Structure formats: structure tokens, C-alpha cells
Amino acid sequence: KQEVTQIPAALSVPEGENLVLNCSFTDSAIYNLQWFRQDPGKGLTSLLLIQSSQREQTSGRLNASLDKSSGRSTLYIAASQPGDSATYLCAVEAAGNKLTFGGGTRVLVKP
């Protein structure tokens, strides 16, 4: 059974510092990995999707890497801003099309 773990569970940084969020998964037979952002009381916003054949994806200040063989992904957010404060979730899609989510990392960027 696929299990997804996100460390740390919570992170607090001063504005301008780079953020590094980690995600690990137990079964490397995945189709893709997605990173989401969730604001309090809201749904999920897709940030980046990495196909299993890719090593990384970039969008603006966000960069996500994928090492399928070791079961790890890292989301980097450069030059953090208070507006980046949210919960970040990673999820892997394996056979059966369903996503398996980690527990999330709650990020606070202090002005």
C-alpha cells in the first residue's frame, strides 16, 4: 500500500528565505506526482505536476524535483513572501488513477 510522508509538518521562516519542503513515498511505481497548495477553509490549487519520466518542473519561484528510485520529491520556493503562507500537499498517482496524499506541511512566512 502506497504511503506518502511530508516532513516537516510545520515550518516558519522570515520573508525572503527560501523554502524547502520534502515528500517521500514508499512505492516507486507511480505515474506522476503533484504538489498542491491549500489555504485555510479552501480547496486545493495545483502547483506543479511531474510525470514519472521527468526529474523536475518549474513555475516562477517554484521548482519541484522527483527522484522516483529513492521515492522522494522536494518543492523549493525561492524568496518566500507572506502570501506563500498556506499548507502544501504532495500526492502521488499510481495504478488506478487515484491520488495518495501526504499529511501536508503548514508554512508560515513572517513579514
Report the interface residues with other proteins, using CB under 8 A: 4, 31-32, 34, 36, 41-46, 49, 89, 91, 93, 96-104
Pairing verdict, β 19-25 and 62-67: unpaired
Q: Looking up cell 527522484, which residue turns up?
A: 67
Neighbours of 17 (CB within 10 A): 13
Q: How far is the CB of 98 from other proteins (least distance, A)?
A: 4
Q: How far is the CB of 21 from other proteins (least distance, A)?
A: 13
Task: Name the residue nearer to other proteins (CB basis): 19 or 23.
Answer: 23
Neighbours of 75 (CB within 10 A): 22
Q: How far is the CB of 79 from other proteins (least distance, A)?
A: 26
Task: Name the residue nearer to other proteins (CB basis): 12 or 18.
Answer: 12
Cα 3 to Cα 15: distance, rounded to the nearest angstrom: 32
Torsion of CA 18, 42, 3, 100, to 10 degrees: -120
Task: Name the residue nearer to other proteins (CB basis): 73 or 100.
Answer: 100
Q: How far is the CB of 15 from other proteins (least distance, A)?
A: 26
